[in-house]
Amino acid sequence: MISKHNLRTLQELRFNGRYSTSISSGPLGREGSRKARCAELLRYRSNLLGSDLRITNFGGGNTSSKLEQADPLDGQPKQVLWVKGSGGDLGSIKRSGFATLYLEKLLALEGIYRGVNLEDEMVDMYPLCTFGNNPVAASIDTPLHAFLPFPHVDHLHPDWGIALAASANGKTKMEEFNRKFGHKLVWLPWQRPGFELGMMLKKIVEETPGCDGVVLGGHGLFTWARHNVNLISTRSPSSISLGSSSKITPTLQVIILVETDS
């Protein structure tokens, strides 16, 4: 699926000048350095995604990583969701633009959720899940990232993805896309972003082993990766017709990054 020519190395990314090697090698301690490197990769990935208008329209979308960090209160390791804060632009976001939240606390909110008609009350809970002294406000898309059980999640609004997601025959065309390009995207009917959509994403991923992305009807895309080191960009070689006169040329996977613990 991933051929040599579409695998861009970290070396090339450094050459492009936007990845901070000083942070990746880090003057901080071992733990601090690793955390800073992972957060920096999230920032860098976000800037790359946001700077290519084929991948997302201006300001559109948000990104996240689930990172292990020492709890400042007791020193114990905790899973922390780093997710783009409310507002702002992916192409220019800095590390200071991400909200940080205890993942465990976010996931526990499912236990007090009273249903779609009261989903807005959950927004008041997000600040109570903040990790560290971070003033960045979590967006209403936060549960969408929290409840997808993958370390690195991207939610994007590419023009082609919106065209697909908003087409009457979008689900059929997504299935054609899957057959043609070897993906396993699943279709989720439109649902307003919020806690309910987080629950729906969790459910559809549990029910569809091996799926590698979600098309949100009338909205956009969710894609993810388990690892965060080599930047992978697969561009589809041909177009899919949506009807008599309109075509889309998907640029999927787009960027799903980078990891290594080595």
Q: Which residues bind Zn ion (CB under 5 A)?
A: 220
Nearer of residues 57 and 233 to Zn ion, judged by Cβ:
57
Nearer of residues 69 and 251 to Zn ion, judged by Cβ:
251
Q: Which residue has the tokens 């992916």?
A: 90
Task: Tell me 87's DSSP state.
Answer: S
Minimum gap (Å) between residue 195 Cβ and Zn ion = 15
- Asked if 36 and 23 touch (Cβ cutoff 8 Å), the reply is yes
Minimum gap (Å) between residue 261 Cβ and Zn ion = 31
Minimum gap (Å) between residue 227 Cβ and Zn ion = 24
Closest residue by Cα to residue 20 from 34, 46, 41, 35: 41
- The CA-to-CA distance between both ends of the chain, in Å, stands at 24
Minimum gap (Å) between residue 155 Cβ and Zn ion = 6
Nearer of residues 77 and 218 to Zn ion, judged by Cβ:
218
- Rounded to an integer, what distance in angstroms lies between the CA atom of residue 114 and that of residue 105? 17
- Asked if 145 and 64 touch (Cβ cutoff 8 Å), the reply is yes
Strand residue runs (E) in 103-184: 152-156
Nearer of residues 85 and 220 to Zn ion, judged by Cβ:
220
Nearer of residues 88 and 220 to Zn ion, judged by Cβ:
220
Nearer of residues 33 and 57 to Zn ion, judged by Cβ:
57
**Cβ-proximal residue to Zn ion, closest one:** 220
Strand residue runs (E) in 46-126: 62-70, 77-84, 98-102
Taking residue 216's Cβ as centre, other Cβ atoms within 10 Å add up to 23
Minimum gap (Å) between residue 46 Cβ and Zn ion = 14
Minimum gap (Å) between residue 240 Cβ and Zn ion = 22
Nearer of residues 72 and 218 to Zn ion, judged by Cβ:
218
Task: Tell me 243's DSSP state.
Answer: S
Q: Give the pairing of strands 185-188 and 213-216.
A: parallel
Minimum gap (Å) between residue 262 Cβ and Zn ion = 34
- Rounded to an integer, what distance in angstroms lies between the CA atom of residue 6 and that of residue 19? 19
User: 82 has which bridge partners?
Assistant: 65, 100
